[in-house]
Structure 1
Amino acid sequence: MDCDWPLLGPLRWLHYVNKQVKVRTGKGDEHSGWLLSVDPVSASAVLLTFSETAASVRVVMGHAVKEVEVLREADEVTAERLRAALLPPSPPSLDPEELRRRRGGVRRWLQENRVPVEEQGEQLTVAGVLTITAPYTAEDCSSSNQIILDRIQRLIRTQN
């Protein structure tokens, strides 16, 4: 479809989402992939391509888009891959005993490093301003205080 892409608007862009498309730019470049999303402010197209082992994302700036051609619709398997493409991998399921052991190990490590930590049910609380939830890794820390968050995450990473 030869179009003025940025002027189409979100309702028209939705007709292209989850479809394999070929995007041509004003410079004559062509980019193919599955249209994952369109930024509503810049009209930039987010294209996803799959290989056997990975996926790659390309963003085509909205002002550069001159033509969008639909190549095919997504089947059920492809639609599911598109939905899951940018989600973080699900954490491995750990049994309650392993979680208890990890929680205790992190608590002891923090205490050995003179960090005030308390167990509150299934989570750890550090100095009343940071919480650590299962599976008790640096990525499972949350706090509104960025300095404390960074320091505790670095400390937990050194534990391993």
Structure 2
Amino acid sequence: MQCGWSLLGPLQWLRYINREVKVRAGNDEEHRGWLLTVDPVSASVVLVNFRKGGASVQVVMGHAVEEVEVLKEADDETAERLRTTFLPQRTLSLDPVELRRRRGAICKWLQKNRIPVEEAGEELRVAGVLIIMAPYRPEDCCSSNQIILGRIQRLIQTRPETDPLTAGSGV
């Protein structure tokens, strides 16, 4: 059981991640679920409850949290389910040849637009500050620099669909 939730801080909150918890909030409210994450700014708690065919998400605002009690640890299956439930659906069904073609097409498009890009295994590294992962769509870009992220995503979106390298590939 933990009181003074918002005073704990991120390092202590990590002990509650991937655990089934009971959260007591103001006005004698009680919420139960698997703790997915805690917002580091507001101390808000994100709880997940798995239902048949999906999951429900509940956010308990940090200022309202009075106590958090761990009910049980997640087993390996539950931890994996928590980790992957809200990730974007990847195109894992693409064969390696198709992924290689997509990676090459994006690489050539960026080079054509004078963007420094290099292949690093399955990833494309752009200007040392952005990574593009398979299947190489705008939403597969990752960078802490929001300006560069937005510009590269827009550039990928403007790539002509008639690009001979990717004709018929749906990239």
Unaligned runs of 5+ in 1: 103-132
Contact 1:139 1:153 in 2 (8 A): no
> Is residue 75 from structure 1 mapped to residue 81 from structure 2 by the alignment?
no
Give the whole-Å Cα distance in 2 for the aligned partners of 1:92 and 1:39. 30
How big is each residue's C-alpha offset from its partner over 1:100-139, in whole Å with a ceiling of 9 and x where there is no partner? 999xxxxxxxxxxxxxxxxxxxxxxxxxxxxxx9758775
SS at match of 1:36: strand
Q: Which residue does 1:51 correspond to in 2?
A: 51
Q: Which residue does 1:7 correspond to in 2?
A: 7
TM-score, scaled to structure 1: 0.62
SS at match of 1:24: strand
Give the whole-Å Cα distance in 2 for the aligned partners of 1:70 and 1:147. 40
Contact 2:45 2:60 in 1 (8 A): yes
Report matched runs for 1:1-160 at 5 Å.
Answer: 1=1, 3-95=3-95
Change in CA separation of 1:137 and 1:7 when aligned onto 2, cut-off 3 Å: closer
Contact 1:13 1:38 in 2 (8 A): yes
Contact 1:22 1:33 in 2 (8 A): yes
Change in CA separation of 1:82 and 1:139 when aligned onto 2, cut-off 3 Å: closer
Give the whole-Å Cα distance in 1 for the aligned partners of 2:150 and 2:78. 41
TM-score, scaled to structure 2: 0.59
SS at match of 1:14: helix
Change in CA separation of 1:138 and 1:24 when aligned onto 2, cut-off 3 Å: same
Pairs aligned (count): 153
Change in CA separation of 1:134 and 1:25 when aligned onto 2, cut-off 3 Å: closer
Contact 1:43 1:62 in 2 (8 A): yes
Change in CA separation of 1:137 and 1:27 when aligned onto 2, cut-off 3 Å: same
Identity of aligned residues (%): 60
Contact 1:21 1:32 in 2 (8 A): yes
Which letter maps to 1:62? Answer: G
- Computed over aligned residues only, the root mean square deviation of the Cα atoms, in angstroms, reads 4.2
Give the CA deviation at 1:140.
6.6
Unaligned runs of 5+ in 2: 103-132, 142-146, 162-169
